[in-house]
Amino acid sequence: MASRATDATRQTLAAATEHLPLHDRQDFEDTERGFVARSADRQVRAADGRVVWDLDAYSFFGAECPDTANPSLWRQGQLVTKDGLFEVVPGIFQVRGYDLSIMTLVEGDTGVIVIDPLISRETAAAAFALYQKHRGPRPVVAMIYTHSHIDHFGGVKGIISEDDVDSGRVPVIAPEGFMEHAIVENIFAGTAMARRAGYMYGAAVEKGPAGQIGAGLGQTTSMGEATLIVPTVDITRTGQEVVVDGVRIVFQVTPGTEAPAEMNFYFPDFHALCAAENASHTLHNILTIRGAVVRDAHAWAHYLTETIDLWGDELDVVFASHHWPTWDRERAVEYLAMQRDMYLYLHDQTLRLINQGYVGAEIAEMLRMPPALEAAWHTHGYYGSVSHNVKAVYQRYLGWYEANPARLWPHPPEESAVRYVAAMGGADAAVAVARQAFSDGDYRWAAQVLDHVLFADPAHAAARTLQADAFEQLGFGAENGTWRSAYLAGAKELRDGQFGTPTTAASADLIGALTVPQVFDSIAIRIDGPRAWDEHLLLSWVITDEHATFITELRNGALNHRTVAEPAPGSTVFTLDRATLIGLVTTTLALEAAVADRTVTVDGDPADLQRLVGLLAPVDPDFAIVTP
Q: Where on the chain is the footprint of Zn ion (CB under 5 A)?
A: 101, 149, 151, 277
Cβ-contact 499, 492 below 8 angstroms: yes
Which helix (H) or strand (E) element contains residue 89?
strand 84-89
- Cite the beta strand spans of 261-407 per DSSP E: 263-267, 272-274, 317-319, 326-327
Cβ-proximal residues to 109 (8 Å cutoff; 6+ apart), any chain: 245, 246, 247
The nearer residue to Zn ion, 277 or 469, going by C-beta atoms, is 277
| Least gap, CB of 562 to Zn ion (angstroms) | 35
Backbone angles phi, psi at 289, to 5 degrees: -75, -10
d(C-alpha 250, C-alpha 239), whole Å: 6
User: Over 34-68, what HEC string results?
Assistant: CEEECCCCCEEECCCCCEEEECCCCHHHHCCCCCC
| Least gap, CB of 100 to Zn ion (angstroms) | 6
The nearer residue to Zn ion, 256 or 441, going by C-beta atoms, is 256
The nearer residue to Zn ion, 100 or 468, going by C-beta atoms, is 100
| Least gap, CB of 218 to Zn ion (angstroms) | 8
Backbone angles phi, psi at 349, to 5 degrees: -70, -35
Torsional class of 486: left (φ above 0), alpha (ψ -120 to 50), beta (otherwise): alpha
Backbone angles phi, psi at 478, to 5 degrees: -75, 135
| Least gap, CB of 9 to Zn ion (angstroms) | 30
The nearer residue to Zn ion, 149 or 290, going by C-beta atoms, is 149
| Least gap, CB of 259 to Zn ion (angstroms) | 8
| Least gap, CB of 157 to Zn ion (angstroms) | 18
The nearer residue to Zn ion, 101 or 627, going by C-beta atoms, is 101
| Least gap, CB of 208 to Zn ion (angstroms) | 25
| Least gap, CB of 320 to Zn ion (angstroms) | 9
DSSP state of 567: P
How many of the other CB atoms lie within 10 Å of CB of 362?
Answer: 16
| Least gap, CB of 149 to Zn ion (angstroms) | 5
The nearer residue to Zn ion, 27 or 116, going by C-beta atoms, is 116
Cβ-contact 43, 51 below 8 angstroms: yes
The nearer residue to Zn ion, 510 or 616, going by C-beta atoms, is 510
| Least gap, CB of 152 to Zn ion (angstroms) | 6
Sign of the CA dihedral running 448, 450, 453, 457: negative
Cβ-proximal residues to 528 (8 Å cutoff; 6+ apart), any chain: 615, 616, 617
The nearer residue to Zn ion, 262 or 493, going by C-beta atoms, is 262
Sign of the CA dihedral running 18, 19, 20, 23: positive
The nearer residue to Zn ion, 277 or 493, going by C-beta atoms, is 277
The nearer residue to Zn ion, 148 or 627, going by C-beta atoms, is 148
d(C-alpha 172, C-alpha 513), whole Å: 15
| Least gap, CB of 128 to Zn ion (angstroms) | 18
How distant, in Å, are the alpha carbons of 69, 216, 377, 381, 386 from that of 73?
A: 7, 7, 11, 9, 15
| Least gap, CB of 119 to Zn ion (angstroms) | 9
| Least gap, CB of 482 to Zn ion (angstroms) | 13
Cβ-contact 229, 162 below 8 angstroms: yes
Radius of gyration of the chain (CA): 26
Cβ-proximal residues to 415 (8 Å cutoff; 6+ apart), any chain: none
The nearer residue to Zn ion, 254 or 467, going by C-beta atoms, is 254
d(C-alpha 190, C-alpha 504), whole Å: 9
| Least gap, CB of 277 to Zn ion (angstroms) | 5
The SS3 of residue 327 is: strand
d(C-alpha 317, C-alpha 104), whole Å: 13
The SS3 of residue 439 is: helix
| Least gap, CB of 382 to Zn ion (angstroms) | 13
CA 177 to chain centre: 18
d(C-alpha 57, C-alpha 219), whole Å: 10
The nearer residue to Zn ion, 150 or 584, going by C-beta atoms, is 150
| Least gap, CB of 318 to Zn ion (angstroms) | 16
How would you classify the pairing of strands 537-543 and 572-576?
parallel
The nearer residue to Zn ion, 151 or 509, going by C-beta atoms, is 151
Q: Which residue is nearest to Zn ion (CB)?
A: 151
d(C-alpha 19, C-alpha 377), whole Å: 11
CA nearest to 85, candidates 94, 76, 77: 94
Scanning 93-201, the segments in alpha helix (DSSP H) are 121-135, 162-166, 178-187, 190-200
The SS3 of residue 574 is: strand
